[in-house]
Amino acid sequence: MTTLQRFQRGVSAERVAEALRDDGACIVERLIDESVVDALWREVEPFVDVTPTGREDFSGLATKRTGALVARSATARDLVMHPLVLAAAQQFLPRHTAFQLHLTQIIAIGPGETAQPIHRDQWAFDFFPFPKGFDAQCNTIWALTDFTEENGATRVIPGSNSWADGLQPTLDQTVAAEMPKGSCLFYSGSVYHGGGANRSASTRAAANITYALGWLRQEENQYLACPPDVARELPDDLLRLMGYSLGAYALGYVGDLRDPLAVLRQNGNGTGNGTGHGGASLGAGLVEVPVASPTD
Ligand SMILES: O=C(O)CCC(=O)C(=O)O
Ligand SMILES: [Fe+2]
Whole-structure pTM value: 0.93
- Cβ–Cβ < 8 Å for 20, 26: yes
Torsion over CA: 19, 25, 27, 28 (sign): positive
Instruction: List the alpha helices (DSSP H) in 24-116.
Output: 34-49, 69-72, 74-80, 83-92
Phi, psi of 27 (to 5 degrees): -115, 135
Q: Is 178 in the pocket of ligand 1 (CB under 6 A)?
A: no
What's residue 172's pLDDT? 97
Q: Is 263 in the pocket of ligand 1 (CB under 6 A)?
A: no
**C-alpha–C-alpha distance, residues 129 and 220, integer Å:** 21
| Pocket perturbation via mutation, ligand 1, pick of 63, 65, 103, 107 by most ligand atoms within 8 A of CB | 107
What's residue 238's pLDDT? 98
Phi, psi of 147 (to 5 degrees): -100, 120
Instruction: List the alpha helices (DSSP H) in 144-259.
Output: 222-225, 228-231, 236-242
Q: Is 107 in the pocket of ligand 1 (CB under 6 A)?
A: yes
Q: What is the pLDDT of residues 102-142, one digit of tens each?
A: 999 999 999 999 999 999 999 999 999 999 999 999 999 99
Distance in Å from the first CA to the final CA of the chain: 58
Alpha-carbon Rg for the chain, nearest whole angstrom, is 20
Give the ligand whose atoms come closest to the C-alpha of residue 54. Answer: 1
Q: Is 17 in the pocket of ligand 1 (CB under 6 A)?
A: no
Of residues 241, 232, 220, 225, the one with CA closest to residue 79 = 241
Distances (CA, A) of 272 to 101, 232, 244, 249: 28, 13, 20, 30
**C-alpha–C-alpha distance, residues 248 and 107, integer Å:** 31
**C-alpha–C-alpha distance, residues 206 and 80, integer Å:** 13
Protein residues near ligand 2, an ion, with CB under 5 A? 121
What's residue 40's pLDDT? 98
Shortest-distance atom of ligand 1 to CA 105:
9
DSSP state of 173: G
**One-letter amino acid identity for 86?**
L
Q: % helix / strand / coil in the chain, to the nearest 5?
A: 25, 20, 55
Q: Is 65 in the pocket of ligand 1 (CB under 6 A)?
A: no
What's residue 269's pLDDT? 61
What's residue 48's pLDDT? 98
3-state secondary structure of 269: coil
Q: Is 191 in the pocket of ligand 1 (CB under 6 A)?
A: no
Give the ligand whose atoms come closest to the C-alpha of residue 179. Answer: 1
Helices H, strands E: what count in the chain? 9, 10
Q: Residue ranges of the chain with pLDDT lower than 50?
A: 270-281, 296
Q: Is 194 in the pocket of ligand 1 (CB under 6 A)?
A: yes
- Cβ–Cβ < 8 Å for 292, 279: no
